[in-house]
Amino acid sequence: MSHVFPRHTKSAPPMVARGQGVYLYDTNGKRYFDGSGGAAVSCLGHGDPDVTDAIKTQLDAVAFAHTGFFTSEPAETLADLLIEHAPEGLDRVYLVSGGSEAMEAALKLARQYFLEIGQPARHRVIARRQSYHGNTLGALATGGNMWRREPFAPLMIETTHISPCYAYRGQQEGESEWDYGQRVANELEAEINRLGPETVMAFVAEPVVGATAGAVPPVEGYFKRIREICDAHGVLLILDEVMCGMGRTGTLFACEQDGVVPDIAAIAKGLGAGYQPIGAMLCSRDIYAAIEDGSGFFQHGHTYLGHPVASAAALAVLKKLTQGGLADRARVMGARLQSALEAAFGQHPHIGDIRGRGLFRGLEIVEDRETKRPFAPERAVHKGLKKAAFEAGLICYPMGGTIDGRQGDHVLLAPPFILEDTH
Ligand code: PLP
């Protein structure tokens, strides 16, 4: 009997033995193609010797030194390289252990920023339905997945949700893509005005929506309008690039393709590529300056901030993404994957949409292609699909989302960037 407390208590997963390239192997020798990089984590694939060497070298030097006493070479170099490649304006990097921690830090930094600049009434967050921002209480509160939030609702910070930018579902007959994007972006302004701009702290969004919607990119112009609205009302823009960042969409930061710079960004997953648990919160010069010139202390932190071994791993990953051209490869291979998916499933009676950016692709599964009607909750296919694929040796990421209050199904694909045509 196992003493591990698993998330799913009614089923026992196989035991993983090793990973090599795009494959994982269990202890029975069965091979699995890692078509979703776990959950969009393993961007380099498994067993990358450059990353494991960087980890070993750092372990031999020093494994851990608390940031209350020391900074470290890998953390400093990683922060420098991230800022060198981040959208202009992002200036400081706060290194944490994962995506939820990065989002938690983002929310607390936003709150503290307004306290520092003398706007203490700003505490409300606006986010979007069909979104996921992590499982810790602050991050969970901002997420729009009602099923995940509901049991913990009494414990949550105040967040309201507006429509996502989800053209397949939301664009109306006769409406251009541009007009659709402006219309849903303008919901933000209406919500800010409804709540009272002086009480709103931040708008939170994933540039390309991952787990709750299946790689849904925004339409052109949407995020530029969102940025304008945030600026007009003094609201901070927090972009959650935990899943879609680090080259996944073909540029290091997904928001580069939308021409916007957030005030705060969260990254994780592909940053450590699964080799170490690491995430980061990046913030603008102005926000950092407010703390530096004010209290001089960010009132938030964890024991494993700036962990040297995790930073060394992430630095090795980031070098491969930037200097090794792997983020570009994600763009090229992503376009090929899209064509291959369209060729294979474009006419399938139950595939309603095939979409995404880079190696971040989603297929939306519907009961009726013409009307886009999803399968009813009791007939949802995502769980069966996950099981069938896994049995056949394919790891993919099927999920249910809520569409107009009803369950919908999609499959997320996020394979390693080392993917070859033969795969
Ligand atoms: N934000 C997004 C967009 C995510 O997809 C996730 C995880 O799936 C998180 C935040 C939370 O990250 P973590 O699971 O590393 O805490």
Q: What value, to the nearest 5°, has the Cα angle with vertex 361 and ends 356 and 367?
A: 95
Backbone φ, ψ for residue 187 (5° rounding) = -60, -30
What pLDDT sits at residue 145? 86
Cα of 97 vs its chain's centroid, Å: 14
- Nearest one of 29, 28, 46 to 37, comparing CA atoms: 46
Q: Which helix (H) or strand (E) holds 115?
A: helix 99-116
Which stretches of 196-257 are DSSP H helices? 222-233
Report the C-alpha gap between 229 and 216 in whole angstroms. 22
Q: Which helix (H) or strand (E) holds 55?
A: helix 49-61
For residues 21 and 60, membership in a common domain is answered with no
Q: Are 8 and 386 in contact (CB under 8 A)?
A: no
Decide if 6 is inside a domain: no
For residues 138 and 198, membership in a common domain is answered with yes
- Nearest one of 182, 176, 248, 162 to 211, comparing CA atoms: 248
Q: What value, to the nearest 5°, has the Cα angle with vertex 385 and ends 381 and 388?
A: 140
Here the tokens at position 22 are: 């795009």
For residues 290 and 332, membership in a common domain is answered with no
For residues 128 and 231, membership in a common domain is answered with yes
Give the distance (Å) from ligand 1 centre to CA of residue 223.
Answer: 21
Here the tokens at position 8 are: 């799913």
Q: Domain limits at 276?
A: 53-322
Pocket test for ligand 1, best of 95, 145, 149, 242 (most atoms within 8 A of CB): 242
Give the distance (Å) from ligand 1 centre to CA of residue 349.
Answer: 32
**Residues near ligand 1 (Cβ within 6 A):** 39, 98-100, 103, 132-134, 206, 210-211, 240, 242-243, 268
Here the tokens at position 250 are: 């073909």
The pLDDT tens digits along the chain (423 residues) read: 899 999 889 888 999 999 999 999 999 999 999 999 999 999 999 999 999 999 999 999 999 999 999 999 999 999 999 999 999 999 999 999 999 999 999 999 999 999 999 999 999 999 999 999 999 999 999 999 888 888 999 999 899 999 999 999 999 999 999 999 999 999 999 999 999 999 999 999 999 999 999 999 999 999 999 999 999 999 999 999 999 999 999 999 999 999 999 999 999 999 999 999 999 999 999 999 999 999 999 999 999 999 999 999 999 999 999 998 899 999 999 999 999 999 999 999 999 999 999 999 999 999 999 999 999 888 889 889 999 999 999 999 999 877 776 778 999 999 999 999 999
Decide if 363 is inside a domain: yes
Report the C-alpha gap between 23 and 18 in whole angstroms. 9
What pLDDT sits at residue 46? 98
For residues 99 and 148, membership in a common domain is answered with yes
Give the up-direction half-sphere exposure of residue 343: CA atoms within 13 A in the CB hemisphere.
6
Decide if 2 is inside a domain: no
What pLDDT sits at residue 324? 85
For residues 179 and 275, membership in a common domain is answered with yes
Report the C-alpha gap between 414 and 397 in whole angstroms. 8
Decide if 79 is inside a domain: yes
The DSSP letter of residue 359 is T
Decide if 398 is inside a domain: yes
For residues 88 and 199, membership in a common domain is answered with yes
For residues 249 and 281, membership in a common domain is answered with yes
What pLDDT sits at residue 148? 86
Sheet strand arrangement including 360-365: 351-357, 360-365, 406-413, 397-403
Pocket test for ligand 1, best of 7, 42, 243, 412 (most atoms within 8 A of CB): 243
Residue 367 CB neighbours (<10 A) = 17
Measuring from atom 6 of ligand 1, which residue has the nearest CA?
134
Prediction pTM value: 0.98
Domain termination site, one of 287, 322, 357: 322
ipTM over 0.85: yes
Ligand 1: nearest atom to the Cα of 134 = 11
Helix (H, G, I), strand (E, B) or coil at 254: helix
Decide if 260 is inside a domain: yes
Decide if 92 is inside a domain: yes
CA 24 vs CA 255, 277, 365: distances in Å: 31, 19, 27
Report the C-alpha gap between 352 and 367 in whole angstroms. 9
Pocket test for ligand 1, best of 133, 145, 216, 278 (most atoms within 8 A of CB): 133
For residues 195 and 64, membership in a common domain is answered with yes
Question: Which CATH number goes with the domain that contains 398?
Answer: 3.90.1150.10
Question: Which CATH number goes with the domain that contains 220?
Answer: 3.40.640.10
- Kindly tell me the sign of the dihedral angle through the C-alpha atoms of 116, 263, 160, 268: negative
For the chain, the domain total comes to: 2
Q: Are 385 and 399 in contact (CB under 8 A)?
A: no
Domain termination site, one of 300, 322, 344: 322
For residues 174 and 239, membership in a common domain is answered with yes
Domain termination site, one of 322, 357, 381: 322
Cα of 310 vs its chain's centroid, Å: 19
Decide if 395 is inside a domain: yes
For residues 104 and 32, membership in a common domain is answered with no
For residues 408 and 291, membership in a common domain is answered with no
Measuring from atom 9 of ligand 1, which residue has the nearest CA?
134
